[in-house]
Amino acid sequence: GHSSTGCHASLATSYMETSAVADLDWENLGFGLVHTDFMYIAKCGPDGNFSKGEVVPFGPIEVSPSAGVLNYGQGLFEGLKAYRKTDGSILLFRPEENATRMRDGAERMCMPAPTVEQFVDAVKQTVLANKRWVPPTGKGSLYIRPLLMGSGAVLGLAPAPEYTFMIFVSPVGNYFKEGLAPINLIIEDNFHRAAPGGTGGVKTIGNYASVLKAQRIAKEKGYSDVLYLDAVHNKYLEEVSSCNIFIVKGNVISTSAIKGTILPGITRKSIVEVAQRKGFKVEERHVSVDELLEADEVFCTGTAVVVSPVGSITYQGKRVEYGNQGVGVVSQQLYTSLTSLQMGHVEDCMGWTVEL
């Protein structure tokens, strides 16, 4: 394993010049934390302005037991990826979108947020400092995890008096243990992820804590994850614990509209555009659970999951299957288009990638 001590970090820096990529088993990356060399940290006091951040050795941070984030969940996170091109340069995918989403979430959670410029600059600094952890081309990506939290002490319920913006990174491979093979989902209709007026539309940490129990039940039954239905009608598709969902029927691709209860995914939004450019008709609307019976293909999208084909969905004891154990043609096509852009294998006609 890799130690997270400052000692490890300084050793790492000293041999950074001689080793372009870190010594890691690049063939077997999953989606687990690999300790890297550095992290970014910036603080914001009651004046609402963030300090000029710093890149420091990766390791534990100190917070008061009374911190707003620990007691009342005042926290947001983001996720984006960096890919290494064959020429060794590094590409980020739409980092300003994450910056904007963090700002929107911060508004909902009564937190100050870094500007888009500070966010993107911080991401770049963190990736460059951890450059040797960006996997070789084709072996995965560097997952970048920005955090924004109420780190100041509170006791009564109120916004914290101080905030911390941090970024850490980890090399990753496939999110699901199935790899690129289709995943099996279950609709657990006694659980809901978000309700109208709640925080489902922002990337608050609490949204992810609240899905753990349903996820555990699903995994115990052998499913990969849970697909949620809306909390009002218990009828329309919302999203999977960690990703958005799309259905394909002929030339039409449909996905749940953004209406405050689902996470506005950056991969979701990108896939909508990529599919439209390929000539598909894309509908963002209410997608009824009944439509799963008629769909040709179903797939999930997310930064972590990329485009994951769905092989089956179980609802009220009935199982519908897709893709004949394989990856559907449309899912495969969209996966390839998106990842070729992200990895710089094709020219970026969308202007989505940022080269470091």
Cα–Cα distance, 271 to 277 (Å, whole number)? 10
- Residue nearer to ligand COI on the CB measure, 184 or 303: 303
In the list 257, 304, 320, 354, the residue contacting ligand COI (rule: CB under 6 A) is 304
Question: Closest approach of Cβ 266 to ligand COI, in Å?
Answer: 9
**Is 203 noted as a catalytic residue in this protein?**
yes
In the list 98, 303, 314, 331, the residue contacting ligand COI (rule: CB under 6 A) is 303
In the list 126, 242, 308, 331, the residue contacting ligand COI (rule: CB under 6 A) is 242
Q: What is the DSSP code (8-state) at residue 353? A: E
Which part of the chain contacts ligand COI (CB under 6 A), choosing from 126-134, 219-227, 298-306, 308-316? 298-306
Binders of ligand COI in range 75-114 (CB under 6 A): 79
* Residue at 83: amino acid letter: Y
The SS3 call for residue 76 is strand
Q: What is the DSSP code (8-state) at residue 128? A: H
Cα–Cα distance, 292 to 296 (Å, whole number)? 9
What lies within 8 Å, CB to CB, of 190 at 6+ separation is: none
Rounded to 10 degrees, the C-alpha dihedral 125/302/188/322 comes to -150
Taking CB atoms, the residue at the shortest distance from ligand COI is: 79
- Residue nearer to ligand COI on the CB measure, 9 or 226: 226
Q: How far is the CA of 12 from the CAs of 8, 32, 130, 140, 167, in angstroms?
A: 6, 21, 10, 21, 19
- Residue nearer to ligand COI on the CB measure, 242 or 337: 242
Q: Does 353 bind ligand COI (CB under 6 A)?
A: no
Which part of the chain contacts ligand COI (CB under 6 A), choosing from 96-104, 190-198, 296-304, 312-320? 296-304
Which part of the chain contacts ligand COI (CB under 6 A), choosing from 54-62, 176-184, 213-221, 297-305? 297-305
Binders of ligand COI in range 164-203 (CB under 6 A): none
In the list 68, 150, 302, 344, the residue contacting ligand COI (rule: CB under 6 A) is 302
Of 330, 353, 356, 351, which is closest to residue 343 (Cα–Cα)? 353
Decide if 175 contacts 308 (C-beta within 8 A): yes
Cα–Cα distance, 34 to 138 (Å, whole number)? 18
Q: Where does this chain bind ligand COI (CB under 6 A)? A: 79, 208, 242, 302-304
Residue numbers annotated as active site: 203
